[in-house]
Amino acid sequence: MMRWFTLLAASLLAGCVQMQSVRGTGDLGVVIERANGRVAVVETTGKTVLGRIEGLGDLSHASVVFSRDGRYAYVFGRDGGLTKVDLLTATIAKRVMQAGNSIGGAISQDGRLVVAQNYQPGGIKVFDAASLELLSEVPAAYGTEGKHSKVVGLADLTGNRFAYALFDAGQIWVTDLSDPRNPKTEKFAAGNQPYDGLVTPDGRHYLAGLFGEDGIALLDTWRPQDGARKILGGYGRGQEKLPVFKMPHLRGWAMAGGNAYLPAIGSHEVLVVDARNWQGVHRIPVKGQPVFVMARPDGRQVWVNFAFPDNGWVQVIDTVAGKVVQTLEPGKAILHMEFTPRGEAVWLSARDDNKVVVYDTATFKPLTTLPMQAPSGIFFTTRAARTGF
């Protein structure tokens, strides 16, 4: 009997190791694994997996935002599941099914609201970040026939406002959620088929990339009365457009030395834009059609991955030299990249090699490899403190 008790106590203790050792969350993160709707909780100091959580539904192309204390990850699943994951205990804190087809979300400036952007039914939904209670929604209705648009490019602005783009309606909307149960929305004409959006690190400018025409729609959210205007309209004109096998992602974009680095669409180029006047300054030829164009936190390097069929490559642009200085082959189907908080290393997911590879950004040498089941997105808690992430 006694023996049995000792055993039980020992195994209970073992089960609680994670909860018992006090630790911070600044070096934590999650990796989306496709198998069984699973996420891996990782830490970037020792570069290890701390735990795995299953049962989050369809996580293809899932995205994540963090609570401001860096403890909780809000995981937006493709099937409309929204799961609040506790990184410290590696458990599900809350989970709701909020839509039929969702592509991501954002968290408010004050950390109290989590907003989901949905394809089906098209619109946004607003949740209490603590309880995941639904507070309000804004259907993306447009035109006169009661149609709803798919929503893309949701980004948080100051004052608990959110900007997003309507793919089918060609509009940018800004919703003010300072009173979260009474959303107030302003609408701006943007252009043909905005496919994704981003906000500048200061929260001022919202940019929506256009698929259906050349150029990018730009809204100065400090001067909304001016409306959205088009930049880079003639940029890249005269070139034959290549078929686009995957839409580029703008979130996670790069701002370095006063210039913005953006993925071109339908060409093998990274666009360099002067962020003071939004004029194109330069186009950097790269190996394929860029998907993510991400600056190392210091802005000295910009890392680029590519659409199918060039998704085995990763290139590094040196922002001082203004050109590609490294071409790497980290594995098959590189879907995402994430820098450690101060950028000495970058984690890359190689979906078809079932691994995550960590590279040293100074030497471009792999530091370690972590086995993962079809990994896609990698998200670190540093995002908690950044506007637009």
User: Binding residues for another protein, per CB under 8 A?
Assistant: 34, 58, 60-61, 78-79, 100-101, 103, 119-120, 150, 152, 167, 193, 195, 211-212, 243-247, 308-309, 333, 351-352
Our CB check for another protein shows the closer of 6 and 120 to be 120
Name the H helices within 23-170.
none
We find the least distance from the C-beta atom of residue 236 to another protein, in angstroms, to be 18
Nearest residue (CB) to ligand HEC, 129 versus 307: 307
Task: Name the residue nearer to another protein (CB basis): 101 or 185.
Answer: 101
Closest CB to another protein among residues 119, 206: 119
Contact (CB, 8 A) for 261 and 250: no
DSSP string, 169-224: TTEEEEEE-SSTTS-EEEEEE--S-EEEEEE-TTS-EEEEEESSSSSEEEEETT-G
Minimum gap (Å) between residue 324 Cβ and another protein:
24
Token pair recorded at residue 301: 């390097």
Q: Report the Cα–Cα distance between both ends of the chain, in Å, rounded.
A: 54
User: Exposed, middle or buried, 224 (CB in 10 Å: 0-12/13-18/19+)?
Assistant: middle
- Residue corresponding to tokens 């509009």: 171
**Cβ atoms 173, 163 nearer than 8 A:** yes
Residue 351 binding target from another protein, ligand HEC, none, CB below 5 to 8 Å by type: another protein
Structure tokens at 131: 């309880």
Residue 367 binds ligand HEC (CB under 6 A): no
Q: Which is nearer to another protein, 258 or 309 (CB)?
A: 309
Q: Please give the Cα distance from 47 to 42 (Å, whole number).
A: 7
Distance in angstroms (rounded) separating the CA atoms of residues 334 and 342: 22
Count of residues engaged in binding ligand HEC, rule: CB under 6 A? 4
Shortest Cβ 258–another protein spacing (Å): 32
Least separation in angstroms between CB 319 and ligand HEC: 29
Q: Does 245 bind ligand HEC (CB under 6 A)?
A: yes
Binding residue for ligand HEC (CB under 6 A) from 247, 275, 333, 367?
247
Identify the residue whose tokens are 């952007």.
117
Q: How far is the CB of 243 from ligand HEC (least distance, A)?
A: 9
Q: 215-244: which residues touch ligand HEC (CB under 6 A)?
A: 244
Q: Which is nearer to ligand HEC, 44 or 289 (CB)?
A: 289
Interaction of residue 211 with ligand HEC, rule CB under 6 A: no
* Contact call for residues 52 and 39 (beta carbons, < 8 A): yes
Which positions lie near ligand HEC, rule CB under 6 A? 244-247
